[in-house]
Amino acid sequence: MKTWIGARITRRSHYGGILAVFILLAVNSASATDLAGIDIHGFISQGLLWSTDNNYLADTEDGTFQFNELGINFSTELTDRLRIGIQFFSRDLGPTDNNEVTIDWAYGDYRWRDWLGLRAGIIRQNHGFYSETRDFDMLRTSILLPQAVYSEIDREFFSRVIGGSVYGLVPLGSVGNLTYSFLAGTKHLAEDSGISRWVESTRLFDVTGYDEGMVYNGGLVWQTPLAGLRVGATGLKTTDLQQELRTAVPFGPLPAGTPLTNEITEFYSYVFSTEYTWHDLVLSAEYMRMKTETLIQDFRATESRPEAYYIGAAQRFTDWMELGAYYSVFYREADDKDGEGLQAAGRDPFQAWQKDLALSARFDLSEYALFKLEGHLIDGAAQVLSTDNPGGLEDDWFLFAAKVTFSF
């Protein structure tokens, strides 16, 4: 059984051009389906982001084309039960990634039975319904997934695990079926990753490295007896994760440049998901909670408990047009949704929440190309980095996005 493996390609400064040429050659020679028993898939996209206020994800107040993606993957079946594959991926999103080619995933997959399979290598994580396929733009209506649950800033942290997993599908008779996946391993986090940017947004520390520790991740999806309805839950927990820091400014008795270790003494997240498909209409909703406790020995301890959710809908009207909308809500602290704690600390209370009403339009230009337009009416700035906005933040703002994608 051949499996579609979503691919993603981003334009890179040097390697991106090489990958792009290779993709064109692959399309011309094999129509991206089969070359000597190897399945080849990929895509390349270019986007635009512009906001009325608040630089978000990139320098969006001036408009930016630093929003592109390139990916290509190769996979083959060695036997009826054993499949191997690898995906090369590159993207640029403002200061993130900067067009560096990486191995997005690479693993061996041995499917012993429908109810039991094994994977080992660099494996996609379970995070909500759409994290595993978020690289494949052709599978959704929106340009940006609901940022409350699928934050682009935190994307690297929630995308992959280096380790092993077990998975399978268990028939439940008249009550549907259950798919499961459980992963264990570690991560490779870059010094300039999204979680580093959150730490550095305090302007107190610079991140110099990581000791990634262990990661445990799992997901369950129940395909219910009601046709088109599925319900799921995913969870993530880390142990022994540490950030290596140095003080960016003098802080109390510590001079600038003092090395410190920030221990993530507890981190977990979980997402509950539901989706209902009826003809050409798709309804979805997801709810997420997180908890992070950190400790810098003899210096300070912190705790945060974000809460997030969204509801969305997408409808295909013709073979070439699809419209969608979602309302996404993120709270920095579940117990301080109105920002009183931030205000008491001298910060803007609207940094406690971010509420996003998004409208999307998708136009399928051909089997291999599509164009999207999207608008976001946003209240609050909980997911906006203050370091990207030295002039201060605004409460009510608008974000516009456009994107063209070619895939094969």
Give the domain CATH number at 30.
2.40.160.10
Structural domain range at position 35: 15-407
CA dihedral 338, 344, 347, 353 (to 10 degrees): -10
> Quick one: which of 378, 376, 369 has its CA closest to 403?
369
List pLDDT tens digits, range 18-58.
444 444 444 454 444 456 689 999 999 999 999 999 999 99
Percent of the chain exceeding pLDDT 90 equals: 74
Domain membership of residue 163 (yes or no) is: yes
Whole-angstrom distance, CA of residue 384 vs CA of residue 60: 12
DSSP 309-328: EEEEEEEE-SSSEEEEEEEE
CA distances from 262 to 187, 238, 266, 304 (A): 17, 14, 12, 15
pLDDT at residue number 2:
32
Whole-angstrom distance, CA of residue 273 vs CA of residue 281: 17
Percent of the chain exceeding pLDDT 70 equals: 91
Tally: H helices and E strands in the chain: 3, 19
pLDDT above 90 (res 61): yes
Question: CB neighbours (10 Å) of residue 227?
Answer: 10
Whose structure tokens read 């947004």? Answer: 201
List pLDDT tens digits, range 132-177.
988 889 999 999 999 999 999 998 899 999 999 999 999 999 999 9
Domain membership of residue 5 (yes or no) is: no
> How many domains is the chain built from?
1
Domain membership of residue 210 (yes or no) is: yes
Domain membership of residue 4 (yes or no) is: no
List pLDDT tens digits, range 194-253.
888 888 888 888 999 998 899 999 999 999 999 999 999 999 999 999 999 998 888 778
Domain membership of residue 2 (yes or no) is: no
pLDDT at residue number 30:
46
Whole-angstrom distance, CA of residue 323 vs CA of residue 187: 36
SS3 assignment, position 344: helix
Burial of 109 (0-12, 13-18, 19+ CB in 10 A): buried
Domain membership of residue 7 (yes or no) is: no
Taking the mean position of all CA atoms in its chain, how far away is CA 366?
Answer: 27
Domain membership of residue 75 (yes or no) is: yes
* Mean pLDDT for the chain overall: 89
pTM, rounded to two decimals: 0.89
pLDDT above 70 (res 8): no
Domain membership of residue 271 (yes or no) is: yes
